[in-house]
Structure 1
């Protein structure tokens, strides 16, 4: 029996189940009783586990933090780790972001690529092996989290509080092909400075881990003349521009850019950084805002690798450091701008963090750390990396592929002996964390074949 051919029979099931999942808005919200990450993530987890149960798998839901799905038996376990929570939808979509609408053979919706779509493909690859009665030596356990996009509370609950056993080896379908052998370290937090201007407000970005497409700054009406005079000068020759209007007797400045994942900030255009550079050029007399703008002008510019700030690092396995300023807001009299740093796998994260803190102190600004992840580095000649690379190469015919390093932070960092494996195919646009996130339905055939082969090879 040819598993490559047999698995294709499940494509329509993948599509229909994925549409149902996409229609559940699983963005983290305020916790409710029995729903630690809010109603949406809990419903998405329950739905996914329900699909698996209907397919004949044994499932268990651990307090709506995380669930797992078991297939087969064995002393050793192959883990497949993914998540059903998503980042906020943002604006500017051509189709409703939680509709699963299919247009020109593409399904649109938040989570189609990150990570509901790939995880659903893996589930049906497991189903194909189950229906074919393929003998496997290892148990296969899919672990489904509901809090990957923010604080990984799901994995902390599962492996920490519940002390569930680690798989023997594992992969997560939450990156790109062929396989990610190195993931940069991450530290994320908020730059904070006091401001006493009552007519000042700022809203930039929706999440901490993405380049903001839009940033909006509200200023006193007294700035109207200088704003209107200087915007045309600042906009000259730029693809992404600023605009201004008067609303409720205040000046509202809007900066537009291009969204991108914080792991790849060079693929976007940071509207928030551009806004700060514009404000610095005006030399306004607004406490807090002036200092923040000066910090950006002297250290950030439109860079994403920390060179002007003296924070540039690079290594052979994983490349350059990246720094993304993603979200801005005012709260309790403080202006906050988020910083998401992805540093090379051989760099010292504490050293980099301390340099950031020292730099901010010079400007009288504070930094509150929200998240820290150590780097992941699995050698390219590791059997897990080699096996997955070979599977991808054999199925796709891509004989020139090589393992990749990434700025992304996946569940591979939470699971022992785990790497990220797909699901973004070469030549496929990366719309994760962006508007119009979608999956090309033609790619599902290839994904099914890759994942069924990978599960078989690793578990046999």
Structure 2
């Protein structure tokens, strides 16, 4: 008997949407200042993890919470385990929302909230795929385990801890990208550029801050500058207005005697696609670089404005690389921090790099291009190497076949700069939940997921899980 997956999902639409809305109301941003032994990434990620696991308990699955780092929802029997990897943490909401980012709103057949497309919506769709199979009592020859993470957007400390206590599934997928499939992911590393925080010019850079996470293009930036004299403010403001007239940013300056606070707004985007954003940090540095700063402040502003600004492929920094299969390296200048008189200033450079180059090559390129400005670099600890599962692997072939059967569209392999939990397994990929042609709002204001895509992905996930585990 053939299962009508679309009918089964349709019968559960209201329940699926209700569960998703409950998850979206949890503000699951990582908050290190509120972390405890019982909430290693802060109260929000823990609450969202517990909420997701509670669905599994309600629906009669075997559920395990691994010390509030991660957990899993499991059913089935067999010697092999199919793993599905989702995450409940989200990047900070940031500014620019038309609605409350943690009160889901449905309009124009889309659900708006932080996490709706990354990754609470896709996770719920995959969970309901499991739920349908269980409720129908369909026979399986493998275990199916949904692993729920709570630190995917930061350092993957959740999975490091989880796999110290639990065995890895044999193969699987993460519903945290797009269809038809993502079977290759570029390497991912952040290098920290270190500068002196000295000031020696007639202008003084008191502070410069921009960015929320390494995997986000900074959507806003703020600098506090002391002018040579309070009377110089008029000329400074004229220059700022001319700058915003010529560039796709907005800005305002407020004066307190000779000190000026400049706030500049660009557009946030996913760090894997830096060209899709408008980097407020590099634009503000580009503007300020025209004034009489000197010392470490000058190096900080000049390197950010001349070498990092719109250097999406790393050519200015001397690290550009292209691989025939995996494509080009990308660079996102993500976190900027300068405080006058502090020990040092830093800029975080997040690289997504293809096979064929290395972290050592990136460090060498930076040394050659910007080392003369007194810049040194160090590696951030979270480093992911390039990952690829061949298109003829049975896992990839099966998932593509399911996609083709339900969409009527030809499946094809894809390689991305984003990093998903699919790469946790040697035979792991990302699969859905966004369909070709979708509007990417991940890590942006007004993030949404189309409801038709949500329900259609649940149909595909249900069939895919069953074919892989039956």
Does the residue aligned with 2:12 lie in a helix, a strand or coil?
helix
- Work out the CA distance in 2 between the residues paired with 1:367 and 1:38: 29
Q: Say if 1:288 and 1:300 are closer, same or farther in 2 by CA, change over 3 A.
A: same
Is the Cα contact below 8 Å between 1:182 and 1:345 reproduced in 2?
no
* Whole-angstrom distance in 2 between the partners of 1:248 and 1:22: 45
Residue 220 of structure 1 corresponds to: 226
Q: How does 1:239-318 map to 2 (within 5 A)?
A: 239-247=248-256, 250-282=259-291, 284-318=292-326
Query: Matches of 2:257 and 2:343 in 1, distance apart?
Result: 21
Question: Aligned ranges for residues 4-153 of structure 1 at < 5 Å?
Answer: 4-30=6-32, 31-153=35-157
Q: 1:247 deviation in Å?
A: 4.4
Q: For residues 388 and 217 of structure 1, do their structure 2 counterparts lie closer, same or farther at Cα, with a shift above 3 Å needed? A: same
Say which SS state the counterpart of residue 180 (structure 1) adopts: coil
- Secondary structure in structure 2 of the residue aligned to 1:118: helix
Superposition deviation, residue 229 in structure 1: 3.6
Q: Aligned to 1:419, what secondary structure does the other structure show?
A: strand
Tell me the SS of whatever aligns to 1:235: helix
Which residue number in structure 2 is paired with residue 232 of structure 1? 241
Q: Deviations over 1:391-426 (max 9, x none)?
A: 112111212x41111000111222231001111112
Q: For residues 153-187 of structure 1, give each alpha carbon's deviation from its aligned partner in whole angstroms, at most 9, with x where no partner exists.
A: 1111111x32x221111100111111111111011
Q: Is the 8 A contact 1:148 1:154 kept in 2?
A: yes
Counterpart in the other structure of 1:373: 384
Q: Give the stretch that moved more between structures: 271-280 or 52-61.
A: 271-280
More displaced 10-residue stretch of structure 1: 199-208 or 306-315: 199-208
CA distance in structure 1 between the partners assigned to 2:73 and 2:62 by the alignment: 6
Name the SS of the counterpart of 2:289 in structure 1.
Answer: helix
Correspondence for 2:167: 165
Q: Deviations over 1:252-290 (max 9, x none)?
A: 1222211110101111111111111112222x2243221
Q: Sort the Cα spacing of 1:425 and 1:212 in 2 relative to 1 into closer, same or farther, 3 A.
A: same
What is the rounded CA distance, in whole Å, between the counterparts of 2:19 and 2:224 in structure 1?
Answer: 44
TM-score after normalising by structure 1: 0.95
Distance (whole Å) between structure 2 residues aligned to residue 95 and residue 243 of structure 1 = 24
- How far 1:357 moved relative to its partner? 4.1
Gaps spanning 5+ residues in structure 1: where? none
Which shifted more, 428-437 or 349-358?
Answer: 349-358
Hey, what's the Cα distance between the residues in 2 that align with 1:129 and 1:194? 59
Partner of residue 200 from structure 1, selected from 200, 206, 216: 206
* Conserved? CA contact 2:121–2:454, under 8 Å: no
2:178 maps to 176
List per-residue Cα deviations over 1:171-228 (Å, max 9, x = no partner).
0011111111111101113322121458611121222211111111110143635522
Tell me how many residue pairs correspond in the alignment: 456
Specify the alignment match of 1:186 in structure 2: 188
What RMSD, in angstroms, separates the aligned Cα atoms of the two structures?
1.8
Shift in Å at residue 359 of structure 1? 3.5
CA contact (8 A) 2:311 2:317 kept: no
Paired position in structure 2 for 1:209: 215
Q: Secondary structure at the match of 1:255?
A: strand
What do the CA deviations read for 1:339-372 (whole angstroms, capped 9, x no partner)?
A: 1111113323322233224444321123232221
Structure 2: tracts of 5 or more residues without a match: none
